[in-house]
Amino acid sequence: MPQERIAALRLPKPIQGPIDDLVRALNAATTKEDLEREGAMEISFILGLETTKRLRPADVEALYMIFDDAVQDRLRQLAEQN
């Protein structure tokens, strides 16, 4: 689950809230298009964190991997439902 992996990063509270919102939106996506849109939003958000240096580089890289894995898992779930 992405939530456990994200919690292990111990992100600052001002960043944790928006990350939680992104995870909820990802889990709520019901179509491939919705999922791709959510994935793009997640990448943009993480890129913003990286650009402004609000997180350590290792945490930024971990977030990219966590969200990429979560998107791929959700795509598999959607494919199995159809």
Q: Residue 2: pLDDT band by 50, 70, 90 thresholds?
A: confident
Output the average pLDDT for the chain: 94
- For the segment 10-33, the average pLDDT, to the nearest whole number, is 94
Q: What is the pTM of this model?
A: 0.90
Q: Contact, 27 vs 71, CB < 8 A? A: no
> How high is the pLDDT of residue 67?
96
Please provide residue 12's backbone torsions phi and psi, each rounded to the nearest 5 degrees. Answer: -60, 145
- For the segment 61-72, the average pLDDT, to the nearest whole number, is 96
Terminal-to-terminal C-alpha distance of the chain: 22
